[in-house]
Amino acid sequence: MMPPFAQSTLESRDDTAHAEARPQRGDAHPVAAPPRRAMLSDECRPQRVLVVDDQELVQAGLRALLSRESWVAACYSAGSVDIAWEAALRWHPQIVVVSMSIAGRSGLEVCHRFRERMPHVRVMLMSGDGRVSASLAATHGAVGFLPKRLPAAAIVGAVRRVAEGGRAFPHESECQPAVQLSRREMDVLQHLVSGLSNPEVAAQLNLSRHTVKQHTSVVYRKLGVRNRAQAASRAQELGFVA
């Protein structure tokens, strides 16, 4: 039996990817699109796209929307971070569109993992929180952001822009980080929010207690908070944690 992400595979429009995406027993029927490959420009070669969201309606909607495009060779979806990584290792997407919150985990985790292990993959983040999430997307290395309120044509246009090697944010002014934390500050914040004490955070990150205390003070100042409870609330508001 194929893994869960294979159930949402779409039929591609070239022979190689079509063979990859051919449904087997237990798979959903693929959504076929007309072979318009001759219309493609040199700047936008056929792309494999992976959609990561824990809402099936969002997955299905984006797959149906993107599958109609001539520059999309195949579109897959996953409902969790772990399944998304398995899907990426198997299908080798060029573009990953990931929700800011997936089954209790942050989409930033997916973004960081791809940057570290598959730096050639172009990651786009999507969320219902336009301004804040666009800032986070830019800060954490994503090449685009999709507010879920965008019209269908705008979503397709943004993903295509990324497929052509560009960046796609609603407005350049929204891409300037409202709150910018370093990677180490993010690590400290996420451990603090999970309930670890400073000594436990120090042990987890192989840092001294003094260094953790310094990072914590900087994080509090940047977030505009005074304690852990406020930091946790603000971190969720900004999308730093799920």
Over residues 77-88, the pLDDT tens digits come to 999 989 999 999
Kindly state whether residues 19 and 123 are assigned to the same domain: yes
Residue 11, pLDDT score: 34
Cβ contacts of residue 88 below 8 Å, gap of 6+?
Answer: 50, 96, 114, 118, 121
The per-residue pLDDT for range 96-118, each reduced to its tens digit, is: 999 988 877 888 888 888 988 99
Kindly state whether residues 20 and 94 are assigned to the same domain: yes
Q: What is the CATH number of the domain that holds 229?
A: 1.10.10.10
Kindly state whether residues 92 and 206 are assigned to the same domain: no
Structural domain span for residue 65: 4-175
pTM metric for this prediction: 0.58
Give dist(CA 40, CA 97) in Å, integer: 21
Nearest to 196 by CA among 216, 182, 210: 216
Dihedral angle, C-alpha 182, 111, 65, 45, nearest 10 °: 110
Both structure tokens of 142 = 């994503």
Asked if pLDDT for residue 89 goes beyond 60, the answer is yes
Q: Specify the range with the lowest mean pLDDT, choosing from 7-11, 121-125, 145-149.
A: 7-11
Residue 43, pLDDT score: 53
Task: State the total domains in the chain.
Answer: 2
Kindly state whether residues 148 and 197 are assigned to the same domain: no
Kindly state whether residues 158 and 196 are assigned to the same domain: no
Residue 235, pLDDT score: 79
Kindly state whether residues 74 and 138 are assigned to the same domain: yes
The per-residue pLDDT for range 124-182, each reduced to its tens digit, is: 998 876 555 676 777 778 899 888 888 888 889 899 999 988 888 876 444 444 567 88
Residue 71, pLDDT score: 92
